[in-house]
């Protein structure tokens, strides 16, 4: 357990939690590591003071390379299925959370690592020469932790098909152009820009952000009429909240709102 704790650092700071992958050289995961990540994220769910969770890496070279290939290749099929199930639990914890999850990327992000980032709500990246991709097809496989539908949602079916069937990686610049990354910052201002972005979110209205995340995730598959009705029901629950009242008052008084 002590070894796992050293491989996953957690720091809380004024409404934010930083979860740092620290398993050199590539932050590759295995079953027990995934279970520990899930346990850590579930513990953060209980902390109501946290509204934003940032997943990043202690390494500038790698964000995460996905499953540890040495372990994966030596496992039985059943063992690998259990590992993928554990990875799915991690991403489900992220997508079902009321908190906003941000992936902070500055190094190679491949396979399950990219699937982890795509499960997050927002992806902030640094310019660089690192690789971004889902190379599973080159191992005779395909993504198994939400990589296929999430990639399609983010960049469209045609471009997703190309990346999935070739297994080829792209540059961070290309990933940003495709819509896979939300922001692409320079080396010089990366940490500053990420800090400003995360701090601003942490000061935002938690109930409204929760409602927005819930809508974005759940509206898929709805008819236009259902989606509009769901939006109406969601916003109706916000009108009488402290944050909505404070937001209107601050706007009229031309000041920065102080949300709950």
What are the boundaries of each domain within the chain? 2-202, 206-252
Q: What is the DSSP letter of 177?
A: H
Alpha-carbon distance of 166 to 137, in angstroms, equals: 7
Catalytic residue positions, numbered: 115, 136
Peptide linkage before 25 cis (omega within 30 of 0): yes
Within 8 A by CB and 6+ apart from 116, the residues are: 55, 64, 87, 90, 91, 94, 103, 145
**Model pTM?**
0.94
H helices of 139-254, in order, are: 147-155, 157-166, 172-178, 190-202, 206-218, 224-236, 242-252
pLDDT in tens, 69-126: 889 889 999 999 999 999 999 999 999 999 999 999 999 999 999 999 999 999 999 9
CATH: 3.90.226.10, 3.40.50.720, 3.40.50.150, 3.40.50.2300. Which one for 2-202?
3.90.226.10
- Quick: pLDDT tens for 131-145: 999 999 999 999 999
Find, among 93, 97, 114, 96, the residue nearest to 105 by Cα.
114
User: So what's the pLDDT on residue 1?
Assistant: 65
Average pLDDT, the chain: 95
Q: How confident is the model at residue 260 (pLDDT cuts 50, 70, 90)?
A: confident
Using alpha carbons only, give the angle 72, 82, 167 rounded to the nearest 5 degrees: 50
CA torsion, ordered 223, 229, 232, 236, to nearest 10 deg? -140
């Amino acid at each position: 357990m002590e070894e796992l704790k050293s491989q996953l650092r957690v720091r809380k700071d004024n409404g934010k939690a930083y979860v740092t992958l620290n398993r050199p050289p590539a932050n590759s995961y295995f079953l027990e590591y995934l279970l520990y990540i899930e346990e850590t994220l579930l513990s953060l769910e209980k902390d109501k003071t946290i509204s934003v969770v940032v997943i990043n890496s202690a390494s500038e070279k790698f964000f995460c390379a996905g499953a540890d290939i040495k372990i994966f290749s030596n496992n039985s099929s059943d063992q690998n299925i259990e590992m993928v199930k554990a990875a799915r639990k991690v991403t489900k914890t992220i997508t079902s959370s009321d908190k906003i999850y941000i992936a902070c990327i500055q190094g190679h992000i491949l396979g399950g690592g990219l699937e982890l980032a795509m499960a997050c709500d927002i992806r902030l990246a640094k310019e660089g020469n690192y690789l971004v991709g889902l190379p599973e097809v080159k191992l005779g496989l395909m993504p198994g932790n939400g990589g296929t539908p999430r990639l399609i949602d983010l960049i469209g079916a045609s471009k997703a098909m190309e990346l999935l069937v070739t297994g080829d990686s792209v540059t961070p610049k290309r990933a940003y152009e495709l819509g896979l990354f939300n922001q692409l910052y320079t080396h010089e201002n990366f940490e500053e820009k990420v800090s400003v972005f995360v701090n601003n979110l942490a000061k935002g209205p938690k109930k409204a952000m929760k409602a927005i995340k819930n809508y974005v995730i759940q509206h898929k598959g709805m008819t236009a009429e259902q989606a509009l009705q769901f939006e109406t029901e969601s916003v109706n629950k916000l009108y009488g909240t402290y944050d909505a009242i404070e937001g209107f008052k601050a706007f009229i008084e031309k000041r920065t709102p102080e949300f709950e």
